Amino acid sequence: MSYKASFRVWRGDADDGELQDYKVEVNEGEVVLDILHRLQATQTPDLAVRWNCKAGKCGSCSAEINGRPRLLCMTRMSTFSEDEVITVTPMRTFPVIRDLVTDVSFNYTKAREIPSFTPPPDLKPGEYRMQQVDVERSQEFRKCIECFLCQNTCHVVRDHEENKENFAGPRYLMRIAELEMHPLDVADRRDEAQEEHGLGYCNITKCCSDVCPEGIHITDNALIPMKERVADRKYDPIVWLGNKLFRR
Ligand code: SF4
Ligand code: F3S
Ligand code: FES
């Protein structure tokens, strides 16, 4: 059974834009991205929308639907009533390029700022050994599809452009936590997380975890454990003494 849905889509560029109303056909089993493609095919050939896989795996089609950060390809039309107006807007935290497409290079900049996996210098490739429990701990973090919905949602940068320079965001603090939990990584991730990547800005509101399409427990399994490790170091009397004696 098909019907006509009311769509309100943000159209514009970096300088100016507005919400525009459309009526678009919807068929059984379709997702919001299908409707935007039909809109492109029938009414607005110049509508800009980024996508690739249409299977929830590439992380390209992130936007906001009725104000909620979502993947366009994983949001079923059956979750809305037929008379509901469905508003689609670009991710708010990143600069708009055009229509629903934003410039997400903030995230690539943050990714580059994190030093990569650093094994002990005397260990050669092929000699790495680790426990299954350590493998499993990081497995959850590796489900990340880099959709940046968590980065878009976190209030630390969503409402405060000025924090962007000093805050890596949940996705990249999770990356630091993953490396910190790796038994063969010897880099100092704790001070780095706190001093350079703004772990202290996170006040564990968990909004990042709520919007993650992969269901990763970003706050509970990465950010809180990372905060605990930072606190352990800070309040450990031996470490405190070591810092006093050797860091002058
Ligand atoms: Fe997207 Fe989740 Fe990865 Fe954040 S952690 S970028 S929400 S998949
Ligand atoms: Fe932001 Fe997630 Fe922390 S939403 S404040 S990074 S728990
Ligand atoms: Fe790939 Fe939506 S198009 S995640």
Amino acid at 50: R
Which residues have CB under 6 Å of ligand 2?
A: 153-154, 156, 170, 202-208, 219, 223
Helices 224-235/237-246 angle, 10° precision: 70
Distance of CA 174 to the CA centre of its chain: 10
pLDDT of residue 236 exceeding 90? no
Which ligand 1 atom minimizes the distance to the CA of 211? 7
pLDDT of residue 169 exceeding 50? yes
pLDDT digits (tens, 9 = 90+) for 63-79: 999 999 999 999 999 99
How far away, in angstroms, is 181 Cα from ligand 1 center? 19
**Average of pLDDT values for 206-233?**
95
Domain spans, the chain: 2-101, 103-247
Share of the chain above pLDDT 70, in %: 94
Share of the chain above pLDDT 90, in %: 88
Fold (topology level) of 2-101: Ubiquitin-like (UB roll) (3.10.20)
Our answer on whether the CB atom of 71 is closer than 6 Å to any ligand 1 atom is no
What is 127-164 written as a DSSP string? -----HHHHHHHHTGGG-----HHHHH-HHHHS-GGGG
Our answer on whether the CB atom of 168 is closer than 6 Å to any ligand 1 atom is no
Which ligand 2 atom minimizes the distance to the CA of 204? 7
Neighbour tally for 225: CB within 10 Å: 15
* Residue 150, CA distances (Å) to 71, 81, 170, 197, 229 in order: 12, 27, 6, 16, 22
pLDDT digits (tens, 9 = 90+) for 15-55: 999 999 999 999 999 999 999 999 999 999 999 999 999 99
CATH superfamily, region 103-247? Alpha-helical ferredoxin (1.10.1060.10)
* Of 53, 76, 91, 144, best ligand 3 pocket probe by most atoms within 8 Å of the beta carbon: 53
Per-chain mean pLDDT for the chain: 94
How far away, in angstroms, is 241 Cα from ligand 3 center? 50
Q: List the residue whose alpha carbon is closest to atom 4 of ligand 3.
A: 56
pLDDT at 232: 82
Q: List the residue whose alpha carbon is closest to atom 1 of ligand 1.
A: 147
- Nearest bound ligand to the CA of residue 91: 1
Which ligand 1 atom minimizes the distance to the CA of 143? 8
pLDDT digits (tens, 9 = 90+) for 108-146: 999 999 999 999 999 988 898 989 999 998 999 999 999
